[in-house]
Amino acid sequence: MATWAIQTWDVSAYYGKGQRRVEALKDVSLQVRQGEIFGLLGPNGAGKTTLLSCIEGLHRPDRGSICVAGVDVLRNPTQAKRRLGVQLQRAALIEGLTAVELVEVYAALYDVYPARHAIMALLNRFGLADQAHKRAKQMSGGQQQRLALAIALVTDPQIVLLDEPTEGLDPHARRALWAMIRTIRDESRTVVITTHRMDEAESLCGQVAIMDAGRVVACDAPGQMIAAMDARPVLRAAVELSAEAAQPLDGAVRVRRSGEYLEVETTDPMATLQSLYALAARHGRAVRDITVRQPSLEDVYLRLTGRTLG
Protein backbone atom coordinates (compact mmCIF):
# COMPACT_ATOMS: atom_id res chain seq x y z
CA MET A 1 0.00 0.00 0.00
CA ALA A 2 1.20 3.49 -0.81
CA THR A 3 2.16 5.63 2.19
CA TRP A 4 0.34 8.67 0.89
CA ALA A 5 -3.39 8.74 0.43
CA ILE A 6 -3.27 11.84 -1.75
CA GLN A 7 -0.38 13.64 -3.42
CA THR A 8 -0.62 16.73 -5.56
CA TRP A 9 2.28 18.30 -7.44
CA ASP A 10 2.14 21.91 -8.61
CA VAL A 11 -1.55 21.78 -9.40
CA SER A 12 -2.87 24.92 -11.09
CA ALA A 13 -6.45 25.30 -12.26
CA TYR A 14 -8.33 28.04 -14.05
CA TYR A 15 -11.94 28.89 -14.71
CA GLY A 16 -13.05 30.94 -17.68
CA LYS A 17 -11.05 32.56 -20.45
CA GLY A 18 -9.44 35.89 -21.31
CA GLN A 19 -10.27 38.72 -18.95
CA ARG A 20 -12.71 36.53 -17.07
CA ARG A 21 -10.02 33.96 -16.30
CA VAL A 22 -9.83 33.07 -12.60
CA GLU A 23 -6.79 31.23 -11.34
CA ALA A 24 -8.46 29.11 -8.65
CA LEU A 25 -5.37 27.01 -7.78
CA LYS A 26 -1.74 28.07 -8.05
CA ASP A 27 0.98 25.43 -7.79
CA VAL A 28 -0.70 23.45 -5.04
CA SER A 29 1.56 20.68 -3.74
CA LEU A 30 0.21 18.64 -0.85
CA GLN A 31 0.69 15.25 0.71
CA VAL A 32 -2.02 13.62 2.76
CA ARG A 33 -0.98 10.70 4.94
CA GLN A 34 -3.05 7.56 5.05
CA GLY A 35 -5.38 7.11 7.98
CA GLU A 36 -5.55 10.69 9.14
CA ILE A 37 -8.08 13.49 9.06
CA PHE A 38 -6.68 16.25 6.88
CA GLY A 39 -8.26 19.72 6.99
CA LEU A 40 -8.39 22.25 4.18
CA LEU A 41 -8.92 25.71 5.62
CA GLY A 42 -9.25 29.05 3.95
CA PRO A 43 -11.55 31.97 3.33
CA ASN A 44 -14.31 31.93 0.70
CA GLY A 45 -12.85 31.53 -2.76
CA ALA A 46 -9.51 30.16 -1.50
CA GLY A 47 -9.79 27.15 -3.83
CA LYS A 48 -10.75 24.36 -1.41
CA THR A 49 -13.71 23.03 -3.39
CA THR A 50 -11.78 23.33 -6.65
CA LEU A 51 -8.95 21.27 -5.18
CA LEU A 52 -11.40 18.57 -4.07
CA SER A 53 -12.96 18.58 -7.56
CA CYS A 54 -9.52 18.06 -9.10
CA ILE A 55 -8.79 15.18 -6.71
CA GLU A 56 -12.17 13.65 -7.57
CA GLY A 57 -11.34 13.94 -11.27
CA LEU A 58 -14.32 16.24 -11.88
CA HIS A 59 -12.21 19.27 -12.74
CA ARG A 60 -9.14 18.82 -14.89
CA PRO A 61 -6.24 20.91 -13.64
CA ASP A 62 -4.41 22.99 -16.23
CA ARG A 63 -1.02 21.98 -14.84
CA GLY A 64 0.36 19.54 -12.33
CA SER A 65 -0.50 16.01 -11.32
CA ILE A 66 -2.49 14.23 -8.64
CA CYS A 67 -2.28 10.71 -7.24
CA VAL A 68 -4.95 9.05 -5.13
CA ALA A 69 -3.65 5.99 -3.24
CA GLY A 70 -0.81 5.91 -5.73
CA VAL A 71 -3.12 6.03 -8.76
CA ASP A 72 -2.71 8.92 -11.21
CA VAL A 73 -6.06 10.73 -11.35
CA LEU A 74 -5.47 12.18 -14.81
CA ARG A 75 -4.27 8.93 -16.41
CA ASN A 76 -6.53 6.45 -14.60
CA PRO A 77 -9.59 8.41 -13.48
CA THR A 78 -11.85 5.37 -13.13
CA GLN A 79 -9.39 3.47 -10.96
CA ALA A 80 -8.74 6.55 -8.85
CA LYS A 81 -12.45 7.16 -8.34
CA ARG A 82 -12.93 3.66 -6.94
CA ARG A 83 -10.74 4.61 -4.00
CA LEU A 84 -12.72 7.73 -3.18
CA GLY A 85 -15.94 8.35 -1.31
CA VAL A 86 -17.36 11.78 -1.87
CA GLN A 87 -19.89 13.53 0.31
CA LEU A 88 -22.46 15.09 -1.94
CA GLN A 89 -23.58 18.60 -1.29
CA ARG A 90 -27.00 18.63 0.30
CA ALA A 91 -28.40 20.12 -2.89
CA ALA A 92 -27.34 17.00 -4.78
CA LEU A 93 -29.63 14.74 -2.74
CA ILE A 94 -32.47 14.06 -5.15
CA GLU A 95 -35.36 15.20 -3.05
CA GLY A 96 -38.00 12.78 -4.25
CA LEU A 97 -35.99 9.66 -3.31
CA THR A 98 -35.92 7.99 0.08
CA ALA A 99 -32.73 7.46 2.07
CA VAL A 100 -32.51 3.80 1.01
CA GLU A 101 -33.12 4.67 -2.65
CA LEU A 102 -30.50 7.42 -2.58
CA VAL A 103 -27.88 5.07 -1.16
CA GLU A 104 -28.77 2.50 -3.84
CA VAL A 105 -28.64 5.04 -6.68
CA TYR A 106 -25.24 6.42 -5.71
CA ALA A 107 -23.81 2.96 -5.09
CA ALA A 108 -25.00 1.89 -8.54
CA LEU A 109 -23.07 4.80 -10.08
CA TYR A 110 -19.97 3.03 -8.82
CA ASP A 111 -21.25 -0.38 -9.90
CA VAL A 112 -21.81 -1.40 -6.29
CA TYR A 113 -25.06 -3.17 -5.37
CA PRO A 114 -25.33 -3.54 -1.59
CA ALA A 115 -27.92 -5.87 -0.04
CA ARG A 116 -30.81 -4.21 1.78
CA HIS A 117 -29.50 -5.32 5.20
CA ALA A 118 -26.11 -3.71 4.42
CA ILE A 119 -27.84 -0.44 3.54
CA MET A 120 -29.87 -0.58 6.75
CA ALA A 121 -26.71 -1.22 8.77
CA LEU A 122 -25.07 1.78 7.13
CA LEU A 123 -28.06 4.06 7.83
CA ASN A 124 -28.21 2.73 11.37
CA ARG A 125 -24.56 3.59 11.89
CA PHE A 126 -25.34 7.22 11.12
CA GLY A 127 -28.45 7.32 13.30
CA LEU A 128 -30.81 7.17 10.34
CA ALA A 129 -32.48 3.78 10.81
CA ASP A 130 -35.86 5.41 11.38
CA GLN A 131 -35.37 7.69 8.36
CA ALA A 132 -34.73 4.87 5.90
CA HIS A 133 -37.99 5.32 4.00
CA LYS A 134 -38.26 9.08 4.37
CA ARG A 135 -37.59 11.33 1.42
CA ALA A 136 -34.52 13.56 1.61
CA LYS A 137 -36.67 16.70 1.48
CA GLN A 138 -38.50 15.58 4.64
CA MET A 139 -35.24 15.35 6.60
CA SER A 140 -33.63 18.00 8.76
CA GLY A 141 -30.35 19.58 7.69
CA GLY A 142 -28.42 17.42 10.15
CA GLN A 143 -30.09 14.25 8.92
CA GLN A 144 -29.28 15.18 5.32
CA GLN A 145 -25.62 15.75 6.25
CA ARG A 146 -25.50 12.33 7.90
CA LEU A 147 -27.18 10.73 4.90
CA ALA A 148 -24.51 12.33 2.71
CA LEU A 149 -21.85 10.70 4.93
CA ALA A 150 -23.56 7.32 4.64
CA ILE A 151 -23.62 7.69 0.86
CA ALA A 152 -19.91 8.58 0.85
CA LEU A 153 -19.17 5.29 2.61
CA VAL A 154 -21.39 2.92 0.65
CA THR A 155 -18.60 1.95 -1.76
CA ASP A 156 -16.23 1.17 1.14
CA PRO A 157 -13.68 3.77 -0.02
CA GLN A 158 -10.11 4.13 1.27
CA ILE A 159 -10.36 7.91 1.15
CA VAL A 160 -13.35 10.10 1.99
CA LEU A 161 -13.65 13.72 0.82
CA LEU A 162 -16.05 15.93 2.77
CA ASP A 163 -16.74 19.50 1.67
CA GLU A 164 -17.93 21.52 4.69
CA PRO A 165 -19.61 18.52 6.32
CA THR A 166 -20.76 20.45 9.40
CA GLU A 167 -21.89 23.65 7.72
CA GLY A 168 -25.17 24.94 9.12
CA LEU A 169 -25.36 22.45 11.99
CA ASP A 170 -26.09 23.41 15.59
CA PRO A 171 -23.26 22.86 18.10
CA HIS A 172 -24.68 19.55 19.32
CA ALA A 173 -25.16 18.12 15.81
CA ARG A 174 -21.71 19.39 14.84
CA ARG A 175 -20.06 17.45 17.65
CA ALA A 176 -22.09 14.35 16.83
CA LEU A 177 -20.80 14.60 13.25
CA TRP A 178 -17.21 15.02 14.48
CA ALA A 179 -17.59 11.74 16.36
CA MET A 180 -18.85 10.05 13.18
CA ILE A 181 -15.96 11.44 11.16
CA ARG A 182 -13.52 10.08 13.77
CA THR A 183 -15.05 6.62 13.48
CA ILE A 184 -14.46 6.78 9.72
CA ARG A 185 -10.80 7.60 10.38
CA ASP A 186 -10.61 4.84 13.00
CA GLU A 187 -11.47 2.33 10.27
CA SER A 188 -8.09 3.24 8.72
CA ARG A 189 -9.64 5.42 6.09
CA THR A 190 -8.23 8.81 5.19
CA VAL A 191 -10.62 11.73 5.56
CA VAL A 192 -10.19 15.15 3.93
CA ILE A 193 -12.54 17.85 5.16
CA THR A 194 -12.93 21.49 4.31
CA THR A 195 -14.11 23.81 7.03
CA HIS A 196 -14.38 27.46 7.97
CA ARG A 197 -14.14 26.64 11.63
CA MET A 198 -10.81 26.70 13.41
CA ASP A 199 -12.05 24.85 16.48
CA GLU A 200 -13.24 22.06 14.21
CA ALA A 201 -9.89 21.79 12.45
CA GLU A 202 -7.98 21.94 15.72
CA SER A 203 -10.09 19.25 17.30
CA LEU A 204 -10.41 16.86 14.36
CA CYS A 205 -7.43 17.16 12.08
CA GLY A 206 -3.98 15.59 12.31
CA GLN A 207 -2.74 17.95 9.59
CA VAL A 208 -4.19 21.11 8.12
CA ALA A 209 -3.40 23.10 5.02
CA ILE A 210 -4.31 26.76 5.09
CA MET A 211 -5.17 28.05 1.63
CA ASP A 212 -5.52 31.63 0.50
CA ALA A 213 -6.21 32.88 -3.02
CA GLY A 214 -5.42 29.53 -4.62
CA ARG A 215 -2.18 28.87 -2.78
CA VAL A 216 -1.26 26.72 0.19
CA VAL A 217 0.23 29.20 2.66
CA ALA A 218 0.92 26.68 5.45
CA CYS A 219 0.65 22.94 6.00
CA ASP A 220 1.37 21.21 9.29
CA ALA A 221 -0.16 19.66 12.39
CA PRO A 222 -2.32 22.28 14.19
CA GLY A 223 -0.16 22.10 17.34
CA GLN A 224 3.03 22.58 15.31
CA MET A 225 1.57 25.58 13.51
CA ILE A 226 0.60 27.18 16.78
CA ALA A 227 4.00 26.45 18.34
CA ALA A 228 5.86 27.76 15.27
CA MET A 229 4.02 31.05 15.60
CA ASP A 230 5.71 31.59 18.96
CA ALA A 231 2.64 33.36 20.36
CA ARG A 232 1.89 33.67 24.06
CA PRO A 233 -1.27 33.36 26.12
CA VAL A 234 -3.35 36.50 26.55
CA LEU A 235 -4.80 37.47 29.94
CA ARG A 236 -7.87 39.64 29.55
CA ALA A 237 -9.63 41.46 32.38
CA ALA A 238 -12.03 44.37 32.82
CA VAL A 239 -10.14 46.86 35.00
CA GLU A 240 -9.77 50.64 35.01
CA LEU A 241 -6.03 50.85 34.55
CA SER A 242 -4.09 52.26 31.62
CA ALA A 243 -1.88 50.08 29.45
CA GLU A 244 1.13 52.12 30.62
CA ALA A 245 0.31 51.49 34.28
CA ALA A 246 0.03 47.76 33.59
CA GLN A 247 3.27 47.51 31.58
CA PRO A 248 5.42 46.45 34.58
CA LEU A 249 3.12 43.52 35.52
CA ASP A 250 5.02 40.28 36.17
CA GLY A 251 5.33 38.21 33.00
CA ALA A 252 3.82 40.90 30.77
CA VAL A 253 5.28 41.09 27.26
CA ARG A 254 2.74 43.38 25.60
CA VAL A 255 -0.17 45.29 27.09
CA ARG A 256 -3.02 47.02 25.31
CA ARG A 257 -6.49 48.29 26.07
CA SER A 258 -9.51 47.04 24.17
CA GLY A 259 -12.61 48.91 25.30
CA GLU A 260 -13.05 48.34 29.02
CA TYR A 261 -10.60 45.44 28.92
CA LEU A 262 -6.90 45.25 29.50
CA GLU A 263 -5.22 42.59 27.34
CA VAL A 264 -1.84 41.34 28.46
CA GLU A 265 0.27 39.01 26.36
CA THR A 266 2.19 37.12 29.02
CA THR A 267 4.82 34.48 29.59
CA ASP A 268 3.19 33.55 32.91
CA PRO A 269 -0.58 34.14 33.21
CA MET A 270 -0.75 33.28 36.96
CA ALA A 271 2.06 35.65 37.91
CA THR A 272 0.55 38.37 35.74
CA LEU A 273 -2.85 37.89 37.33
CA GLN A 274 -1.43 38.11 40.86
CA SER A 275 0.48 41.28 40.14
CA LEU A 276 -2.58 42.71 38.35
CA TYR A 277 -4.64 42.18 41.51
CA ALA A 278 -1.96 43.88 43.60
CA LEU A 279 -1.71 46.81 41.18
CA ALA A 280 -5.50 47.23 40.99
CA ALA A 281 -5.75 47.14 44.81
CA ARG A 282 -3.14 49.92 45.08
CA HIS A 283 -5.26 52.04 42.71
CA GLY A 284 -8.51 51.08 44.47
CA ARG A 285 -9.85 49.40 41.29
CA ALA A 286 -11.82 46.17 40.89
CA VAL A 287 -10.74 43.37 38.53
CA ARG A 288 -13.64 41.62 36.78
CA ASP A 289 -14.37 39.22 33.99
CA ILE A 290 -10.97 37.51 33.78
CA THR A 291 -10.13 35.12 30.96
CA VAL A 292 -6.90 33.55 29.74
CA ARG A 293 -6.77 32.57 26.10
CA GLN A 294 -4.12 30.21 24.81
CA PRO A 295 -2.88 30.84 21.25
CA SER A 296 -5.00 28.88 18.80
CA LEU A 297 -5.22 27.96 15.15
CA GLU A 298 -7.42 31.03 14.77
CA ASP A 299 -4.37 33.19 15.59
CA VAL A 300 -2.26 31.33 13.01
CA TYR A 301 -4.98 31.76 10.43
CA LEU A 302 -5.34 35.45 11.20
CA ARG A 303 -1.62 36.01 10.92
CA LEU A 304 -1.36 34.12 7.60
CA THR A 305 -4.46 35.36 5.83
CA GLY A 306 -5.10 38.65 7.61
CA ARG A 307 -8.69 37.54 8.07
CA THR A 308 -10.85 36.05 10.75
CA LEU A 309 -13.39 33.43 9.96
CA GLY A 310 -17.03 34.38 10.43
Least spacing, CB of residue 176 vs ligand ATP, in Å: 23
Least spacing, CB of residue 196 vs Mg ion, in Å: 9
Is residue 50 at the binding interface for ligand ATP, with CB under 6 A as the rule?
yes
Question: Which residue, 85 or 214, has its beta carbon nearer to ligand ATP?
Answer: 214
Question: Which residue, 45 or 127, has its beta carbon nearer to Mg ion?
Answer: 45
The binder of ligand ATP chosen from 48, 82, 146, 185 (CB under 6 A): 48
Question: Which residue, 45 or 57, has its beta carbon nearer to ligand ATP?
Answer: 45
Question: Which residue, 284 or 310, has its beta carbon nearer to ligand ATP?
Answer: 310
Nearest CA to 95 among 105, 109, 86?
Answer: 105
Q: Segment 2-41, which members bind ligand ATP (CB under 6 A)?
A: 15-16, 22, 24
Q: Could you tell me which stretch among 44-52, 97-105, 131-139, 236-244 binds ligand ATP (CB under 6 A)?
A: 44-52
Least spacing, CB of residue 215 vs ligand ATP, in Å: 11
The binder of ligand ATP chosen from 35, 45, 127, 233 (CB under 6 A): 45
Q: Which residue is nearest to Mg ion (CB)?
A: 49
Is residue 44 at the binding interface for ligand ATP, with CB under 6 A as the rule?
yes
Rounded distance between C-alpha atoms, residue 148 and residue 112, angstroms: 17
With contacts defined by CB under 6 A, how many residues of the chain interact with ligand ATP?
A: 12
Least spacing, CB of residue 144 vs ligand ATP, in Å: 18
Question: Which residue, 46 or 181, has its beta carbon nearer to ligand ATP?
Answer: 46
Question: Which residue, 123 or 210, has its beta carbon nearer to Mg ion?
Answer: 210
Residues that bind ligand ATP (CB under 6 A): 15-16, 22, 24, 42, 44-50
